Copies of this chain bind each other. A is one copy, B any other.
């Protein structure tokens, strides 16, 4: 990846400040990695490896801290699908997922391609925070 332009860095910096976070070298690098490309589903380890490849020294602890802060700030969604690791999703629009059972890979499904036409009322004293549809898919054999 080419070095980001001054403008892009200023944008990211402003976005971090707007979310109440100091624009540190680490947060700027992670924000650029996360938001420069299109929609992504990435784990902490993967993002850490990507930063290392770019010769940005960031500890794994900071990657975790930052991913959670970004999630709290509404810049990311955390996905807990297919036990094991957490994925962080840069796609904030209403959408669902294909889940590759073999690899654990996630692929977006636009929200309007899935219609959940009937849902039961939530139990007393609770409200619906969201509805997640996961379409599990496997390699077709034969």
Contact = CB atoms under 8 A, between A and B. Distances in A.
Q: This chain: how many copies in the complex? A: 2
- Where chain A touches its partner, the secondary structure class is strand
Contact of A134 (B118, B123, B127, B132): B132
A64 interface: no
Band of interface residues on A: 35 or more
Given A80-B82, A107-B123, A130-B136, 16 more contacts: A98-B122, A113-B118, A114-B118, A114-B120, A115-B116, A115-B118, A116-B116, A122-B135, A125-B139, A126-B137, A126-B139, A126-B140, A127-B140, A128-B135, A128-B137, A129-B137
Interface stretch (A15-23, A26-34, A83-91): A83-91
A58 interface: no
Interface string A101-128: 1000001011001111111101101111
A62 to B, nearest CB: 20
A5 interface: no
Contacts of A83: 80-81, 83-86
Interface of A: 80-86, 98, 100-101, 107, 109-110, 113-120, 122-123, 125-140
Nearest to A127: B140
